[in-house]
Structure 1
Amino acid sequence: MRNVHLATVLILGWLGQLLCTGSLLAISETNYTQEYTDKVWPFFISHGEEGTIQTDDQVKIAYKTVIHPNPVATIVILQGWTEHYTAYAEFAYDMYQEGISTFILDWRGQGRSQRFLDDSQKSYIDTYDSYHHDLNAFMKQIVLPQSKTPPIALAFSMGANILALYETKHPKTFSRLIMVSPMLDIRSDPFPQLFAWTVAKLMEILGLEKNFVWGHGQYTGLAPNKVTSSEVRFLKLRELRKNNLETVIGGATWAWLKASLEATWTMRDQATLLQIPILMLQAGKDEIVRTEGQDQLCTEAPLCLKVVFPLAMHTILGENDRIRTKALREILDFIRYGY
């Protein structure tokens, strides 16, 4: 009897792994480069469409869609700082296997969207309200006309801050929000945030707000890996940037820093205005943003569920197989069952 019970447990465990982990993790770190080249990239290029739209303030915004013919859900992906929509090729591939359509946009000033400075590698924004024009245009012109299910937003880092601010002004545009390592509390070490803002404001007064922040500069492709414990996924993202240099951001300007700090402060003050279900994925070893602001928002927003990944670094969706698979499972469960 004991042997029968043990055999049953083993069989159920194997079936669970086959049905859950296998379906969630379309390709693994084992032979990752070859699998990505053979499966993910051809799929991403051949499915859906990529193009540009124009916002109501006359800015050209780039986007990419991967639409499932019979979707069970629709995810609008809002990228993080310096990203290009190609960074989500693997995630879009994974979601398609689960019957989910994905819509991805490049924020103004990065990716293939319109830049505002002669030096395209400088990250510049006047105010985060400007990003709302991008999201408005994307939703009205691309997502809503093509989506067959109520859209769910998935936003990473800076994109999550923009999304949260957008939701306070345009409530219930999305049925649910998924925030991955949201940028709600910027690391300004070794100086306090208020000091960093004061310096940025001074640079604005002096007419130097379009200069690189101290320590930032042109992209070299040599920056150390501070975002994921998966070296193969990190190297793939670096390769994508190398192959698309026109989409690359080298660093932040003082204007971007000032606007970003102000946006995080505003969002933390308005957390109670977020009245729809939220899933927050928090990285326990995040070296890019502080998690205190995430904790505050998820405590004050009435329908926020926070899931902590103690060993994850900032880019949870680009992490090692074990962390990434668990994150995908949390996302799919939230899509299916909600808060």
Structure 2
Amino acid sequence: MEDAPFFDDLVNGWPAARAVWVHAEDGARLRLGLWRPDDAARGTVLVFPGRTEYIEKYAHVAARLLDRGLAVLAVDWRGQGLSERLLGEPLTGHVGRFSDYQRDVAAMLAVARAEALPAPVFLLAHSMGGCIGLRALMDGLDVAGAAFTGPMWGIRISALMRPAAWAISWSGARLGLGHVVAPGTGPQSYIATAPFEGNTLTTDAGMWATMQSHLHARPELQLGGPSLHWLHEALAECRALARRPAPDLPAIAWLGSRERIVDQARVHDRMRGWPLGRLELLESAEHEVLMERAEIRDRILRVTASFFLEQAGAPA
């Protein structure tokens, strides 16, 4: 474990993380960020970001959790952020197998042990991180509670186009085109290049401008559309997870009413079948609810932190 860069200039006065390089068991180099509260921590939150994201983006989330006495450990998944990119074209989102992300989870847990981060442990997972997190929970990730935001338990594709998405993503990989960017996406970063008007991520112009400023200041953090191979792996993983019962632990999922990235029906179905789970709907919110308007962000982080502390048996 070695020190890694953390871009303090991006976090606008929020606390900086201690960033480290680690290697997953297959050798992939990953960047992790660790925030510790000033006083003794009451637990640890593992942050599983979404596709295209990076640890600096979660500094404001870490700040709110630190205020509640919780340590935070976040990851740049393989293929994004400053972690090792997997293709010669670094802007294409790619993974060999979706299960490879579980190697990244294992590397996170090794750091948590090495740093003696305090129990209990909680999970906060967004979008693709929600898919990775659900798999980890089903495979035995030991947490006291989990919170999901816009979880990718299905990808929003019209019923008419879904068979085509399966066929194109499957055949592309077998024709040696698995590295090609999936249809409907682009080779450039969506946030860095799209206008605020009509964007599918947030209704908050200030947060949109902040996210754009990050990627313009540090273009090495940018990521474009996913590869055909990533799309096929993601579709297969979502289908496999949908066939399994919910984990036996308390969970809360947050979903924007204007969600246009993940399949809303899959989120509703999962939470209806989660005996210890509940779904919280956020009126007029887009996909990145933690990057939404202040009142939405504040509600999510206040309720989620209290939810975690309740599971820990600590005063909320």
Q: Is the 8 A contact 2:271 2:277 kept in 1?
A: yes
The gaps in structure 1 that reach 5 residues or longer are 1-36
State whether structure 2 residue 211 is matched by structure 1 residue 240: no
Specify whether residues 81 and 304 from structure 1 end up closer, same or farther in structure 2 by C-alpha distance, changes over 3 A only: same
> 1-side partners of 2:173 and 2:107: how far apart?
29
Q: Which residue does the alignment assign to 1:41?
A: 12
CA distance in 1, matches of 2:10, 2:128: 29
Q: CA RMSD in A?
A: 2.0
Residue in structure 2 matched with residue 58 of structure 1 by the alignment: 27
Give the corresponding residue for 1:265: 239
Partner of 1:122, secondary structure, is coil
Structure 2 residue runs without a partner (length 5+): 1-7
Q: Tell me which residue corresponds to 2:5.
A: none
Deviations 1:228-271 (A, max 9, x none): 1111011101111112211211111101110111111111111x
Please give the per-residue CA displacement for 1:45-85, whole angstroms capped at 9, x wherever unaligned: 3xx41011011111111011111131123111000010011
Could you tell me whether the CA contact under 8 Å between 2:11 and 2:56 is conserved in 1?
A: no
1:280 counterpart = 2:281: no
Question: Out of 240, 252, 268, which is 1:295 matched to?
Answer: 268
What residue number does 2:98 align with?
128
2:252 and 2:280 in contact (8 A); partners too: yes
Aligned-pair identity in percent equals 22
- What amino acid is aligned across from residue 89 of structure 2 in structure 1? D
Task: Give every structure 1 segment of 4 or more consecutive aligned residues whose post-TM-superposition deviation is greater than 6 Å.
Answer: none
Change in Cα spacing, 1:244 to 1:143, as seen in structure 2 (3 Å) is farther
Contact 1:176 1:278 in 2 (8 A): yes
Aligned partner of residue 116 in structure 1, secondary structure: coil
Pick aligned residue for 2:170 from 179, 182, 201: 201
Counterpart Cα distance in 2 of 1:144 and 1:259 = 31
Secondary structure of the corresponding residue to residue 216 of structure 2: helix
Deviation at 1:200, TM superposition (A): 0.7
Relative distance call for 1:273 and 1:59 in structure 2 (3 A) is: same
What pairs with 1:13-28 in structure 2 (closer than 5 Å)?
none
Which TM-score applies when normalising by structure 2?
0.89
Equivalent residue in structure 1 for 2:278, among 296, 302, 305: 305
User: What is the deviation of 1:112?
Assistant: 0.7
CA distance in structure 2 between the partners assigned to 1:325 and 1:142 by the alignment: 27
Q: Which residue of 2 aligns with 1:24?
A: none
Alignment length (residue pairs): 299
Which among 174, 193, 205 is matched to residue 222 of structure 1? 193
Shift of residue 204 of structure 1? 1.2
| Structure number, greater radius of gyration | 1
Question: TM-score scaled to structure 1, two decimals?
Answer: 0.83
Indicate how the Cα distance of structure 1 residues 338 and 281 shifts in structure 2: closer, same or farther if over 3 A, else same: farther
Q: Are 1:151 and 2:151 matched, yes or no?
A: no
For the Cα contact (< 8 Å) 2:30–2:84, is it kept in 1? Answer: yes
The amino acid across from 2:206 in the alignment is V
How far apart are the structure 1 equivalents of 2:10 and 2:94?
35
Deviation digits for residues 71-105 of structure 1, max 9, x if unmatched? 12311100001001111011112222222211110
Q: Distance in 2 between matches of 1:58 and 1:40?
A: 29
What is the CA–CA distance in structure 1 between the aligned matches of 2:246 and 2:114, rounded to whole Å? 24
Query: Amino acid of the residue matched to residue 278 of structure 1?
Result: A
